[in-house]
């Protein structure tokens, strides 16, 4: 496969994972609304923190592969999202190993700020005039380097990741408190 084909395959795999994550987040939210908070906590228990860590780890690895293997230069807004996502891949791992419920209070601000940045970045891609009237040829935030299914771009992927992490953190209760 050529480099472009490898990138195309990689984009598609991440896009499918994004759809899976999006469906997962929606299912969890609906479950919580229908069954109530107690049932929601019982559903995942302490596993929620491991799942949240897995999402953060995949997102971190995914973005590093884009920049280090495919040589995508992160734009300004991509860097902000990295700042919010990368620490979670470590913080959540430590919290999961130590089964510390308090970890969600460290991670939630990161995931919420990351989600807000992803939403803004996605809006910039839809309405490029939000960030000026021209494109910087090196790394414009408004350009869609990835566009799968007509709507899945890199900030969309990140936004879904932040959403799922947020939902999972809200589901998280320490195993011994269940």
53 C-beta neighbours (distance < 10 Å), count: 24
- Identify which of residues 109 and 127 has a Cβ nearer to other proteins in the complex: 127
- Measured in degrees and rounded to the nearest 5, phi and psi for residue 139 equal -155, 70
- Identify which of residues 109 and 132 has a Cβ nearer to other proteins in the complex: 132
**Dihedral, 173, 164, 120, 139 alpha carbons, nearest 10:** 120
Q: Under the rule (CB under 8 A), what is the footprint of other proteins?
A: 1-5, 7-13, 15-17, 19-20, 24, 43-48, 50-51, 70, 125, 128-129, 132-137, 140, 142-147
Contact 162, 114 (CB under 8 A): yes
**Min. distance of Cβ 9 from other proteins in angstroms?**
3
**Min. distance of Cβ 113 from other proteins in angstroms?**
25
**Min. distance of Cβ 172 from other proteins in angstroms?**
11
- Identify which of residues 91 and 144 has a Cβ nearer to other proteins in the complex: 144
Tell me how far apart the alpha carbons of residues 14 and 77 are, in angstroms, rounded to a whole number.
19
- Identify which of residues 83 and 130 has a Cβ nearer to other proteins in the complex: 130
């Amino acid at each position: 496969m050529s480099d472009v084909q490898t990138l195309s395959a990689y984009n598609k795999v991440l896009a499918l994972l994004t759809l899976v994550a999006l469906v997962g987040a929606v299912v969890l939210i609906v479950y919580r609304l229908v069954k109530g908070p107690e049932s929601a906590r019982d559903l995942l228990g302490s596993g929620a923190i491991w799942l949240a860590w897995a999402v953060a780890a995949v997102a971190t690895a995914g973005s590093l592969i884009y920049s280090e293997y495919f040589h995508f230069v992160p734009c300004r807004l991509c860097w902000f999202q990295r700042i919010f996502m990368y620490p979670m891949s470590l913080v959540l791992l430590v919290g999961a190993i130590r089964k510390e419920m308090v970890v969600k209070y460290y991670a939630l601000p990161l995931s919420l700020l990351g989600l807000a940045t992803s939403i803004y970045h996605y809006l910039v891609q839809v309405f490029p005039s939000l960030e000026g009237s021209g494109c910087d040829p090196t790394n414009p935030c408004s350009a869609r380097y990835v566009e799968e299914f007509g709507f899945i771009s890199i900030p969309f992927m990140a936004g879904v990741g932040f959403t799922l992490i947020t939902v999972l953190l809200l589901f998280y209760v320490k195993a011994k408190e269940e």
